Structure 1
Amino acid sequence: MVKWFTAILGYFIFRFPGAIVGFLLGSFIDNLNSSGGGPTTVFRDIGRQQVTPADFELNLLSLCSLVIKADGTVSKSEMNYVQQYFVSTYGKEKANAIFRTFNEINKKREISAQRICTFLNQRTRYEVRLQLLHFLFGIAQADGAVSNAEINRIQEISGYLRVSFRDFESIKAMFIKSADTAYKILEIEKSASDDEVKKAYRAMAKKYHPDKVITKDEAIKKGAEEKFKRVQKAYETIQKERGIV
């Protein structure tokens, strides 16, 4: 299939970032060729439609690539996760433009997580940055497990995004299960009183309410709804465990 050829080619030219972009571009070629209408390329419609990616999407894709290559392997399932996200959010034409522009930029300079996060800090609300972390953990989990290298990379990004350690731990707990996962999500200790549990739930429900995520990005809005549901589920788990009414 084209996507694996372009992934391998990209790897030999630009190492892991090249493999990521090569796979994604190759996937689009496969999809377009299989949709009928004769031979085509991923670039033809871009020129005709004049679709141009915005800085937000390019920076988001850059963070995705840093997480995908964090553990030294290029996972097909993680790249598919990113591909599906961009196609469902922006449509094929704009997604093609994003990947193409990213590839051109990546040839000229290394991806700097700190630089990207500084840009995002100046242009996004804190609640949106929390959702970005949620999305990055979703990528890491796409292959069935979140590695320590991926956790460390996301934690580094979290620091650059000025996300508090408690919020980082809360989001991490939504993807990495442990005996006290529900408590970590609510950012409280297992020894907390019932009243403290209720208070923590109200605070977290307010902080993670989808209405707090002011963005035009529909996928990020959906992710906020998912995160809100995980907070609710964590509270329900503690309720059932303790018999809280």
Structure 2
Amino acid sequence: MANFSKWLGAGLGWTFAGPIGGILGFVLGSFVDEFSESDLMDLNKKSGGQQSTQSGDFEISLLVLAAIVIKSDGSVDKRELDFVRSSFIGMYGKERANHAFKLFKGIIQNNKISTRQVCLQINRHMNHASRLQLLHFLFGVAKSDGMVTEKELNKINTIAGYLNINQYDFNSIKAMFYNEVDSSYKILEIDKTASDQEIKAAYRKMVKKYHPDKLRNLGEEHVKGGEEKFRQVQKAYEHIQKERGL
């Protein structure tokens, strides 16, 4: 249990406050018998009451929002759980992922999570690039069982709204998970009627927006995770170039 305590206390700041802190308290009190309320307070002290987003804050935010999306269609699909676990192993390594997934199983059991309150807390502390990365992860979770259901899509759209992610950014990330005729244009946040110059300008804009370096404050594990969005932008631009003979 000491290792679990050490993991949870490292790199966590603002997640111990507000609704997310309440969720952690519920999970620790219900599923981790060795933890007491005083233990949680000690962990909060270790975090130093940080207001800037740390790697651990982002990690817990991923778990909470993933749980909300997974339960949105009324069932918990093993393929979606496996996606969360494998993604965390890829980002954090097996030991840290095991700790995170132990916490995640507890979060899944909590039926009193307020999507709005959780998102408002995240929005207060997390920058735009990090919130876009959260959204990308949620689409990955929803698509991991083969398709994004209408209920999952609506829930992710609601989350995006609470996170102050505009519809252009939402549609851009959504298009990365749909194989549609105009997906490449949507990823670049531009219409098919755009001129070649407008497409080039849009590509440069999206490269800056989705550049993995914007996630460097969260740690190298998240820079790696952000590379997928960056590759999708490049792939979309290359597809349009080939289509137009640029």
Q: Where does structure 1 lack aligned partners over 5 or more consecutive residues?
A: 1-45
Match of 1:134 in 2: 136
Per the TM alignment, residue 116 of structure 1 is displaced from its structure 2 partner at its CA by: 1.6
Greater displacement, 64-73 / 82-91:
82-91
Tell me, yes or no, if structure 1 residue 47 matches structure 2 residue 49: no
**Matched residue type, 2:83:** Y
Letter in 2 for 1:231: V
**Structure 2 CA distance for aligned equivalents of residues 198 and 170 of structure 1:** 16
Aligned equivalents of 2:141 and 2:107: distance in 1? 22
The one of the two structures with greater contact order (alpha-carbon pairs below 8 A, sep at least 6) is 2
Alpha-carbon spacing, 1:106–1:69, altered in 2? closer, same or farther (3 Å) = closer
One-letter amino acid of the counterpart of residue 6, structure 2: V
Deviates more, 1:161-170 or 1:208-217: 208-217
8 Å CA contact retained: 1:137, 1:172: yes
Distance in 1 between the 2:100 and 2:147 partners? Answer: 27
Contact (CA 8 Å) 2:172, 2:189: kept in 1 or not?
yes
Q: Distance in 2 between matches of 1:105 and 1:142?
A: 19
Structure 2 counterpart SS, 1:134: helix
C-alpha deviation, 1:148, in angstroms: 1.2
Residues 205-237 of structure 1, C-alpha deviation per residue, up to 9 Å, x if partnerless? 111111122333444322311101100111111
Q: Tell me, what secondary structure is at the counterpart of 2:178?
A: coil
* Closer, same or farther: CA 105–209 of 1 in aligned 2, 3 Å: closer
Structure 1 runs of 4+ off > 4 angstroms?
99-109
Structure-2 change in CA distance of 1:152 and 1:243 (3 Å): same
Q: Where does residue 115 of structure 1 map in the other structure? A: 117
* 1:187 alignment counterpart: 189
2:125 counterpart SS class: coil
Paired residue for 1:70?
72
Identity among equivalent pairs (%): 50
Q: Structure 1 residues 209, 108: closer, same or farther in 2, change over 3 A? A: closer
Is the contact between residue 187 and residue 233 of structure 2 (CA under 8 Å) also seen in structure 1?
Answer: yes
Aligned match of 1:59: 61
Paired residues, number: 199
CA distance in 2, matches of 1:76, 1:104: 15
Cα RMSD of the aligned pairs, angstroms, is: 2.2
State the one-letter code of the partner of 1:189: D
The normalised TM-score by structure 2 is: 0.73
Q: List runs of 5+ in structure 2 lacking aligned partners.
A: 16-56
- Please point out which of 82, 85, 92 is paired with 1:83: 85
Write the letter of the residue equivalent to 1:142: S
User: Kindly tell me: are residues 98 and 70 of structure 1, through their superposed partners in 2, closer, same or farther at Cα, counting changes over 3 Å?
Assistant: same
Contact 2:92 2:221 in 1 (8 A): no
CA offset at residue 101 of structure 1?
4.5
Between the aligned partners of 1:71 and 1:172, the Cα distance in structure 2 is: 18
Post-superposition Cα deviations, 1:100-137, rounded to whole Å, max 9, x if no partner, equal 44566776771122222122222221011101100110
Q: Partner of 1:149 in structure 2?
A: 151
**Mean alpha-carbon deviation: is it higher for 217-226 or for 57-66?**
217-226
- Larger Rg, first or second structure (1 or 2): 1
Distance change >3 Å, CA 219–CA 103, structure 1 → 2:
same
2:161 corresponds, among 149, 159, 162, to: 159
Deviation at 1:86, TM superposition (A): 2.5
Amino acid at match of 1:50: S
Q: Letter of the aligned partner of 1:136 in structure 2?
A: L
Question: What is the rounded CA distance, in whole Å, between the counterparts of 1:155 and 1:141 in structure 2?
Answer: 14
Measured after TM superposition, the shift of residue 93 of structure 1 is 4.3
Q: Judging changes above 3 Å, is the alpha-carbon distance between structure 1 residues 51 and 87 closer, same or farther for their aligned structure 2 residues?
A: farther
CA distance in structure 2 between the aligned counterparts of 1:74 and 1:235, rounded to whole angstroms: 36
Give the TM-score, by structure 1 length: 0.74
CA distance in 2, matches of 1:241, 1:162: 33
Query: Which residue identity is paired with 1:63?
Result: L
Distance 1:124 1:192 in 2: 33
